[in-house]
Amino acid sequence: MNKISVGITGIGSYVPENILTNDDLSRMVDTSHEWIVSRTGIEERRIADKDQATSDLSTIAALKALEDAEMKPEDLDLIIVATATPDYMFPSTAAMVQKNIGAVKAAAFDMSVGCSGFVYGLVTGANFVQTGMYKRVMVIGAEILSSVVDWEDRNTCVLFGDGAGACILEPCDESFGILSSELGSDGVKGDVLIIPGGGSKNPASEETVKNKLHAIRMDGKEVFKFAVRVMEQSSLRVLESAGLAKEDLDFMISHQANSRIIDAAMKKLELNKDKTHVNLTKYGNTSAASVPVALDEAVKGELIKKGDNLLLIAFGAGLSWASVVLKWNKEVRNV
């Protein structure tokens, strides 16, 4: 029995309208535009309204992906939402999206893998399609990280922004779609990127709030070293698994965390800068949303064409990493 090929047939994204610039941040904490840009490449980020939840951003991106795929919500079999900032502990944010878009036939669940979440979700969703269990799977990466940032910690508050991206997976023509993938985790380093409070280890209390345990804590140097290493190693492994060499790669979409990390990966893969799309300058690190938002912009900007060999790669909390090589199967259709 031939393995079912799985490709992306619809894609959409959404970022909030509110812009928080580096100059704005310099009036909140001891930092400057020059300091932030030199270390991260970020100039501004988008911040959700107070009345917006992660499911709201996800819903807008989901509807755009459905429109792009020319598909009705009731045609979906499964919705996966990758997020570190769910609406609630339960029910899942995916269930909220299911309700919002009217996907009455779809199963729904969340994944929590930090910034690696969307690519993890992509691999998971593709496996459901490859087994024949489902035909149409929506994968969403969405975050409202502004809700879990310590706005007095200049080392973290300058990094993060809000957004959502969605795609739809379906069977596609043989030789197109996902060619290879890799998921990984190193739990030994789990404490270098963490929100310590709110779970069963440190349940919410007056003390956890006072000590800001519900905000992101990060050892930036350790995450940087990890990211540079796994971006290179995982990229080469999935290319080899797909039967491709570095020179066969047409385009890369990586997690939008730091311009220096992306530059290092591009150098190792011997890719020119026109072979990737970087949007962290205007959005910052949107965690699980970063890869699908960047992919959507690259596709709608006609930077990727049908038949291109594409690498998607991310790293994040866990510490985790995920990479996918696919042959792009979709014709450009501007919506």
Q: What would the pLDDT profile of 219-266 be if each residue is shown by its tens digit?
A: 999 999 999 999 999 999 999 999 999 999 999 999 999 999 999 999
In the chain, the percentage of residues whose pLDDT exceeds 90 is 97
In the block, tokens 């259709």 appear at: 333
Q: Which of 115, 157, 167, 172 is catalytic?
A: 115
DSSP state of 122: H
Q: Which residues pair with 164 in a beta bridge?
A: 14, 142
Q: What is the mean pLDDT of residues 27-47?
A: 97
Do the strands 162-171 and 6-14 form a parallel or antiparallel pair, or are they unpaired?
antiparallel
**φ, ψ for residue 5, nearest 5 deg:** -80, 140
Quick check: is 33 catalytic? Answer: no
Strand partners, 208: none
Q: What is the mean pLDDT of residues 108-130?
A: 98
Joined tokens for residue 68: 């792009």
Q: Of these residues, 157, 172, 255, 258, which one is catalytic?
A: 255
The reply to whether 178-327 shares the fold of 6-176 is yes
What pLDDT is stored for residue 331 in this prediction?
81
Supply the pLDDT for residue 41: 97
297-to-16, 70, 108, 185, 301 alpha-carbon distances in Å: 15, 18, 26, 28, 6
Nearest 10 degrees: CA dihedral of 73, 10, 296, 234?
Answer: 110
**φ/ψ bin of 29: left (φ > 0), alpha (ψ from -120 to 50), beta (otherwise):** beta
| Rounded distance between C-alpha atoms, residue 10 and residue 30, angstroms | 42
Domain residue ranges in the chain: 6-176, 178-327
Contact 217, 196 (CB under 8 A): yes
Q: What's the gap between Cα 330 and its chain centre?
A: 20
CATH placement of domain 178-327: 3.40.47.10
- CA–CA separation, 99 and 87 (whole Å): 13
| 260 HSE (CA, 13 A, CB side) | 12
- Active-site residue, 115 included: yes
- Please list the residues that pair with 108 across neighbouring strands: 79
pLDDT at residue 22 in the model: 98
CA angle 147, 153, 157 (to 5 degrees): 45
Q: How many CA atoms lie within 13 A of 291 on its CB side?
A: 32
Q: What percent of the chain has pLDDT over 70?
A: 98
Which among 185, 121, 120 has a CA at the least distance from the CA of 320? 185
Q: Say which of 22, 279, 285, 329 is annotated catalytic.
A: 285
Per-residue pLDDT of 143-172, as tens digits, reads 999 999 999 999 999 999 999 999 999 999
CB 66, CB 10: distance < 8 Å: yes
pLDDT of residue 246: 95
Output the pLDDT for position 335.
46
- At the second CATH level, the architecture of 6-176 is 3-Layer(aba) Sandwich (3.40)
- Tell me the average pLDDT across 291-318: 97
Exposed e or buried b for every residue in 82-112, given b needs 16+ CB within 10 A?
bbbbbbeeeebbbbbbbebbebeebbbebbe
What's the pTM?
A: 0.97
